[in-house]
Amino acid sequence: MQLSSRHPPSKLYRARDHRYGAALAEGLPLHYHSLDGLRGLAAVTVLLSHFTNKTGILGGLLGHGAGKIGVAVFFVLSGHLMARLYMERPLGTTDCFEFFRNRFARIAPLYFLAVFVAFAWTKMTGHSSPFYAVNDETILEHLLFVRGQNVLWTIPVEVQFYAVFPLIWWLYRATGRAVLLWMLLAGLGVALLGFPQTPVLLGYILFFFVGVATIFVPELRASRTLDAVFAGLLVLYVLSFPVIRGLFGLPLDSVKSIWTSPIYMLLISSLLVVSLYSSLAKHVFGNRVATYLGMISYSIYLLHFPILHALADTSLIRQPYLFLAIFLSLTLIVATASYFLYERPLRNLIRQGDSAAVIRQPNVETAP
């Protein structure tokens, strides 16, 4: 279904009941393929950044913090999609249960598998490579979503956001758009505290807040001007990679400064909003390849790391372009198998009994 200019986002939210039947009856969009493609872009950004850091290919242009920008896209998407999917619904016990069950179904199966495999490998071999640094000292932190090692670090951040999202949901139901003020005050408090890392969510929460705030942006009319803005934002996205910024004489920010930068918050949130309405974005992010990458992005994100490090221990490390081709191909094959044979079946099993699950929900895959 395509986005109709006759129905602003607020009407979409009001029309959607617990089973989305009203939205279906009105022909309103339940799924935005361009957001799938945006998620795919984020996953590819992370993947290429880690490959660049490992091999130094292209002089490191796509590494040294670029992957964090991809993760920031995931965080903004999570805030936007959780708000769009839930905040106009009544907040009751059943709604909260469905929310947490669906988030668990999305995050937990593949994450726990990755954690347990990494832990077992470490116990058997005495070292973590090529998997994640999960050992006796860190296993509980991972299982309880306190913090994670290597690429697993983002998952506790996501889960901690899910834990506080019902409060945002309740504030919106109680105060309406005044929830923006509450988020602003909370964000200022986090900034004044220096973006603490305990709990880990606090260091990154502003990106989730920005994502939530994007649902209040009025609908944009598709036009050539909007397409030009979208193209410009895509260019700026690439130019914002730390090493590329340095080529233009701009400050080479530290990785931490990405998470405190209003420029990155504005850039990523603008790219998200424009992607919803731009006709060009529907072609760039809404095509089959881009949406497929978005669909399997969680498996790409979690599984590319051990594949990369396993291949790096071979002679391929001396042939970076052949290494890249094999790495990309193998990652896509493994991620596809993971998604269709494990991730999606387990998710559907956990959600079993929810009649809404048979309806394609609006971009609910909010994790990487």
Q: Calculate ∠ Cα 232-236-238, nearest 5°.
A: 125
Q: Calculate ∠ Cα 335-153-321, nearest 5°.
A: 45
Token pair recorded at residue 117: 């495999």
Q: Within a domain: residue 144? A: yes
Full residue range of the structural domain in which residue 352 is found:
31-358
Q: Within a domain: residue 295? A: yes
Least confident of 46-55, 86-95, 220-229, 345-354: 345-354
Q: What is the pLDDT of residue 4?
A: 34
Q: Could you report the per-residue pLDDT of 261-318, keeping only the tens digit for each?
A: 899 999 999 999 999 999 999 999 999 999 999 999 999 999 999 999 999 999 999 9
Determine the Cα–Cα distance for residues 225 and 245; give it in Å rounded to an integer.
26
Total count of domains within the chain: 1
Q: Within a domain: residue 259? A: yes
Share of residues in the chain with pLDDT > 90 (%): 73
Q: Within a domain: residue 17? A: no
Average confidence (pLDDT) over 98-116? 96
Q: Within a domain: residue 123? A: yes
Q: Could you report the per-residue pLDDT of 326-347, keeping only the tens digit for each?
A: 999 999 999 999 999 999 999 9
Q: Within a domain: residue 11? A: no
Average confidence (pLDDT) over 196-206? 89
Q: Within a domain: residue 232? A: yes
Q: Within a domain: residue 25? A: no
Q: What is the pLDDT of residue 246?
A: 84
pTM of the model: 0.89
Asked whether residue 62 carries a pLDDT value surpassing 60, the answer given is yes
Tell me the DSSP string of 270-336: HHHHHHHH-HHHHHHTSSHHHHHHHHTHHHHHHHHHHHHHHHHTSGGGG-HHHHHHHHHHHHHHHHH
Determine the Cα–Cα distance for residues 85 and 52; give it in Å rounded to an integer.
36
Share of residues in the chain with pLDDT > 70 (%): 86
Asked whether residue 29 carries a pLDDT value surpassing 80, the answer given is no
Average confidence (pLDDT) over 226-253? 89
